[in-house]
Amino acid sequence: MNTTIPPLLQPFSEEQIDFFRENGYILLKRGCSSDLADAFNGHIYDIRNQSPMPEWAACEESKKYAVRLFNPHKNDSFSRQLMKLPVIRGGLAQLMGKEAVCVQSMYFYKEPGAPGQASHQDYYYIKNDPMTMIAAWTAMEDLVDEENGCLWVIPGTHKLGLLPHGAVKNLEEHESWTEETEGIDTSHQIPVIMEKGDILFFSELLIHSSNKNRSKERWRRSYVCHYIREDSNVLHREDLRQKYPLY
């Protein structure tokens, strides 16, 4: 059996890597093909459309196309394949300096009217040592913009360290069960407009958020995976201790 590890792609230029280091994020256009994104959307629909739903994907019947799907990569081979796209593996190695492993995945539905998530830093929820975590956020819609609830980022805030988080203030705009970064001026945030297959890489300390989906019929589906460097470890979260290699 051939166990040779495939070579790493290098999707980012030195200028893009410098941009990431300075701003805490970088957008890779068309990192995933539209056909693959469409196939994955249909696959996730089919998982929740089963009767009964698989235990690992189960939720209330009335919310089966609304409640985000946590960690599908742990149980579903298609989710694992999308988790370890060669362009993601290569891009993460460029940004981290070593190979990455995946520790968490989430598929967001965000149907029309759904709230967003208030400003936060991912490290607040997933602490790791050494601190190396980067998210790869893949757009699964033709257009992700301000109307249907795109991500907003505050460039450079990954340099501030971990900030205090507290209760969400605007419950009309944001879901209540997460927490919100405190002591930060969100007037400096900018929207990240994306098209299907675009992948946004961002630091675990970058302050980011999303607003309510205000469109009448446009969803904002996305697949988001969190990665740490292969020599890093997740702290305090037994559910995220397993490392999934990308080759």
List the chain domain ranges: 17-51+63-245
DSSP H helices in 50-142: 77-83, 86-96
Number of residues that this document lists for the chain? 247
Beta strands at 179-181 and 233-234: parallel, antiparallel or unpaired = unpaired
Confidence of residue 2 (pLDDT cuts 50, 70, 90): low
What integer best gives the mean pLDDT of the chain? 97
Residue 221's nearest CA partner among 77, 44, 27, 50 is: 44
Q: Distance between the two ends of the chain, CA-based, in angstroms?
A: 15
pLDDT for position 58:
96
Over residues 174-210, the pLDDT tens digits come to 999 999 999 999 999 999 999 999 999 999 999 999 9
Region 68-75: what's the mean pLDDT?
A: 98
The CATH number fitting domain 17-51+63-245, selected from 2.60.120.620, 3.40.30.10, 3.40.50.300, 3.90.226.10 = 2.60.120.620
Q: What is the pLDDT of residue 35?
A: 98
For position 4, what pLDDT does the model report? 86
- Token digits for 243? 């490392």
pLDDT of amino acid 85: 98
pTM: 0.97
